[in-house]
Amino acid sequence: MEKIVKFFQFLCLVLMLFPFHSSSLPLCTDKRAPRSPKGHLTFCPYNGKICCRESDDIELQKRFEGMNISDSACASAVKSILCATCDPFSAKLFDVDSEPRSVPVLCNSTSATPRSSLSSPTDNSFCSTVWESCQDVSILNSPFAPTLQSRAQLQQNTTSSKLTDLWQSKSVFCNAFGGAIDEKNSFCFNGRPVSLNTTDTLPPPRGMCLEKVDNGSYLNMVAHPDGSNRAFFSNQAGKIWLANIPDQDSGEVLELDESSPFVDLTDQVHLDTSYGMMGMAFHPNFATNGRFFASFNCDKEKSPGCGGRCGCNSEVGCDPSRLGSLEAGEHCKYHIVVAEYSANGTASSPSMAEKGNPQEVRRIFTLGLPFTANHGGQILFGPDDGYLYIMTGDGGGKGDPYNFAQKKKSLLGKIMRVDVNNIPSEEEIVKLELWGNYSIPRDNPYSEDKEMEPAIWAYGLKNPWRCSFDSERPSYFLCADVGQDTYEEVDIISKGGNYGWRVYEGPDPFQPQQTPGGNTSADSIDPIFPVAGYSHSNISKLGSAAISGGYFYRAQTDPCMYGSYLYGDLYASHIWAASETPQNSGNFTTRDISFSCARDSPINCDSVPNSNLPALSYIFSFGQDNRKDVYILTQSGVYRVVRPSRCNYACSKEVVPSINTPTAAHSHGSFLNDPNSVVMFFVSAVLLFLEFFM
């Protein structure tokens, strides 16, 4: 038994070094979410949420008929290839993150056997089928034309549209167009719509064990970009601290000195019940450039630099002089601000900096608030693109009376995506009518749309409160959106997505009490509905509810929690685990998860009387460190998810660590970037391996 335990310890060490790579969720080749067409497609055999509209279907049919393919078997294969653009997984089929493709990646039996749930287990030779059916068949305007492939692989004669005239052999053809499932390419096209293995589901965890590691009340947590076991914490007043994260099972608490913040911005931040510092983000290259960003509210009457454009303006059909009659409060006295700061010059390198400079480097974004609530305010960098995402609420006013969330020229109720690495000149800012010192990424969905603000990535949100990217599947960008009267929701955010507010609240139609800003009809939009959430009536006897978004759990600490998306409610102290069923489908089932406090928690959890439930009080936010452990930031302190056995939860996958098993990342710098740590890792792994087999 002891040798078996050691063997599993060895496996865990290996798995920690080499993370799993999973397939992406349904996305179209333009990286937008699949939608339901208004009618039925007549040419391409796709139903439900797909990537084609009726007009696309007609164009594909015209293109197919123009090819004038005489052979029925070849025609059938080519038709399926053309229609693959309608598949809800077409972004992966066409491998849009690599070179542009004229056809999807065709399953090729000469490569490794597919093993993904996103591919049929049979007919793995579709590339061979295409070659054998079409090799001697003339195809006009062939999608297999050589101009899209390497000339070195082709014969000199490229005038004919037969495959044999364009390609030297089946192997050369399938090297160009074929592929099989491996770590890089998650699945391939076998001639039929992608089907999911409905038995490939993720079971929900039975319970969650917590330990308390700090008594402080923080609103935000961001892992240090250098990959070390450090993280930044901030409070609503405007202070940011740098803390050392203790190892799991160490019995230690956060090393955080509240008397010595990393930076103090309280003199710039307007603090009140609904105002304060709502977000912070550290540049992906902070370890070398020292750039970090804060999102907060300011008062233009008290801060001379606070002034900016009002979110209520004539361009969006809003008259600021009328706002006071709708809700108590002073319109556009307060602003959302995103500002840049620096840690350069405070240490030998920014990675070693323990202090930041509170002097603002530049103002990235300023937006005057029409009402006193629903500000959003989180900011974070995209893990793949390096752009800054800015989350804004609808600005307040019960039911979004001016319909800001749906208006194309309003930046309220939106998720913005901006480039802070290429700062435009003052002339460019004025010419492009930007709201600050940022530029527009060229692949933003509305970068060329004059009817829409080009910074918008997604819209139709009420008050997004805590968004996160899945660390293993960056295309999974989940946001929790606070509801109005009945429903709290979790959305998968996609390029150009409209999330329905205020036409819908969650999945239900919404009727606002006042509509001075006009209405948006349900027929005029194509909303994306929540993948998870909860009704107010199901959770709260308190009369209030407000969702707080979390993270996909990707740590090895609790393997039975692995892959679940965790989120909670501010008032009700409930925590949910959403599991994807089937995996990679974008469909989730949610379970209200029980949680307890570890008996050996380094700080007493102040359990609820007559139970072992920790008294979390208000759940403000969630956090994640560089080892992917998840934290819950609450009014009563900071809690961390720990091994389930510490709370007597059963998890057959759990491996209890040996006392001598190294668990910590290097204190300054990424584990994988530190040669000594890597050497020690392999030495430990080899010793465990030899001890098992010797």
Is residue 340 a contact partner of residue 280, using CB atoms and an 8 Å limit?
no
pLDDT tens sequence across 244-283: 999 999 999 999 999 999 999 999 999 999 999 999 999 9
Verify cis geometry, omega within 30 degrees of 0, for the bond prior to 512: no
3-state secondary structure at position 78: helix
pLDDT on residue 540 = 62
Mean of the pLDDT values across residues 530-556?
88
What order of strands is seen across the sheet that includes strand 291-299? Answer: 277-282, 291-299, 334-342, 357-368
Q: What confidence score (pLDDT) does residue 324 get? A: 61
pLDDT tier, 639 (very low <50, low <70, confident <90, very high otherwise): very high
Q: What is the pLDDT of residue 22?
A: 43
Q: Residue 563 corresponds to which tokens in the numbers above?
A: 């892959």
pLDDT on residue 20: 38
Select from 2.120.10.30, 1.10.287.1080, 3.40.50.920, 3.20.20.70 the CATH code of 262-462+483-538: 2.120.10.30
Strand partners, 340: 293, 362
CA gap 582, 200 in Å, rounded: 5
Question: Domain boundaries in the chain?
Answer: 34-179, 262-462+483-538
Chain-centre distance for alpha carbon 418: 16
pLDDT at 82 over 50: yes
Structure-model confidence comparison of residues 538 and 420, the more confident one: 420
Name the maximum alpha-carbon separation found in the chain.
83
Separation between Cα atoms, residue 218 and residue 638, nearest integer Å: 8
Q: How confident is the model at residue 325 (pLDDT cuts 50, 70, 90)?
A: low
d(CA 246, CA 243): 9
pLDDT grade for 667, boundaries at 50, 70 and 90: very low
Taking the CA atoms of residue 397, residue 507, residue 459 and residue 367 in that order, the dihedral angle to the nearest 10 degrees is 20
The C-alpha torsion from 294 through 296 and 298 to 303, rounded to 10°, is: -20
pTM (predicted TM-score): 0.88
Per-residue pLDDT reduced to its tens digit, 46-59:
999 999 999 999 99
Q: CA angle 14-255-13, nearest 5°?
A: 5
Higher pLDDT, 581 or 446: 446
Reported in sequence order, the residue ranges of 393-430 that DSSP labels E, i.e. its strands, are 414-418
Q: H helices within 526-674, ranges in order?
A: 536-539
Query: Which range has the top average pLDDT, 147-156, 302-311, 681-690?
Result: 302-311
Decide the pairing of beta strands 208-214 and 595-597: parallel
What is d(CA 147, CA 26) in angstroms, rounded to the nearest whole number? 29
**What is the predicted pLDDT for the residue at 145?**
80
Tokens at residue 393, please? 């609420």
The predicted-structure confidence for 416-467, as pLDDT tens digits, reads as follows: 999 999 999 999 999 989 999 999 999 999 999 999 999 999 999 999 999 9
CB 82 within 8 A of CB 63: yes
Rg (CA), the chain: 27
Mean pLDDT of 398-418: 96
Lowest-pLDDT choice from 177-186, 300-309, 473-482:
177-186
Mean pLDDT of 343-353: 93
| pLDDT band for position 37 (cuts 50, 70, 90) | confident
Query: Whose CA is closest to 189, among 110, 98, 95, 65?
Result: 95
